[in-house]
Structure formats: C-alpha cells, structure tokens
Amino acid sequence: MFNPADLPAKIPVFPLPGALLLPRARLPLNIFEPRYLAMLEDTLKTSHRLIGMVQPIDTPDESEEQPLHAIGCAGRLVAFSETADGRYMITLAGVSRFRIKEVQTGFAPYSHAAIDWDDFARDLGKAERDPKFDRAQFLSRLHRFFAATGLDSDWDSLEKAEDELLINSLSMLCPFDVEDKQALLEAPSLADRRETLVTLMEFALASGGEESKVQ
C-alpha cells in the first residue's frame, strides 16, 4: 500500500510498554486515555492514518514523559469501533519500522516524532522467508515454552502458518519484557528474529519460565 515516497516525515507516536508491532502484522489496541483518544481522532483526518508504536525506556525517574527507544514500527489504522463508555477498539496493520530523529511535544496532548525510514526499506516489500527455519524443532521448543509459562494456543494454526506470520505473531504475543520486545523489533531479518525468539525462550526455560514475564 505504501511506497517509500508516500511515508510521512512526521507521525504521532504511542509509547506502550510490551505492545510490539511488526511489519505486515496486526495489533489490536484498546484506546481510553484522553490524549490518545485525541491522537486517534487526529490520525483519522490524515491520508496515511499512521501511528508509531514505540517502547518507552524504563528509568528510575518517575516523570510523566519517559524517554523512548529510537526504533519503533508504524501501523496504519485499519479498523476501529467505539464502545458505549467512549473507548475505541482499534487495529493497526504494521507498515514499516522507523528511527526517531526528534520527539516533538507541546503542540498536542500526545507526542509526534520526526521519522527516518531509510534503514527499513525491506519492510515495505513482500513477506520474508526463513530458509533455515526448522519448523519441527521450533514447535517442539515452543511447546515446552508454553507449558512452562502457562500459555496455550491453536497448535493446528501454528503448524500451518507461514514463516513470517508464525515468528512475528509469537514475537508480538509472547510475554517478554520491554527490552526483549525491543530486541525482537530491531532484528534485521526474519531469521535474526527467529534466532532471538529462540534465545529468549531457551533463557525462560532455563530459569523456570519466570524471566519471560513482562516486568
């Protein structure tokens, strides 16, 4: 849907710990804070309808505005519905990762960022493949990880899913902490993301599953 020339130089950013969005994946969100309701209403007025999902950096300082990781992922607003109590249930479709050049505040109740898309041109292409992906071995490890962490899934769907859908969906859904989610986001390729995901699952298994819980 997007060519590099179509991507805007500035987008609103939504810092949400643990909420990972990846290109060509979909992320459902529940929007209820007034500033993000305003962000949503403003986004609907744009032609691109992009919102940048980004992980805040956890710091000892409890100030309201946390610093943000430099790399996030933009999603196009593709579905929304309003609840009776004024919340919005929305879905973002992942378009491309980006690098933040400058966070801009003060012009709206939410933050905007000047964006550089240049390092992530492949995100706008076709779904990635992972030629060295050993699905049987991966799913065996995943079974052990889910058992250790008390998670469940539709195993028939996982076994049939394409490489990218499987790896990216698990990266988004598994309960890793913020820094681990950021490492999955920043993985240069699908193979790198799969290797990072395996490492995180193995670490969680070695520590009894506790390290996989969001901090």
pLDDT tens string, the chain, 215 residues long: the values are 788 888 999 999 999 999 999 999 999 999 999 999 999 999 999 999 999 999 998 776 655 667 899 999 999 999 999 999 888 999 999 999 999 999 987 778 899 999 999 999 999 989 999 999 999 999 999 999 998 888 877 778 888 889 999 999 999 999 899 999 999 999 999 999 999 999 999 998 988 754 444 33
The CA dihedral of 146, 151, 157, 160, to the nearest 10 degrees, is -20
Which letter does DSSP use for residue 128 in this model?
P
* Cα 139 from chain centroid (whole Å): 22
Question: In the chain, what are the domain boundaries?
Answer: 4-124, 135-212
4-124: CATH homologous superfamily? LON domain-like (2.30.130.40)
Length of the chain, please? 215
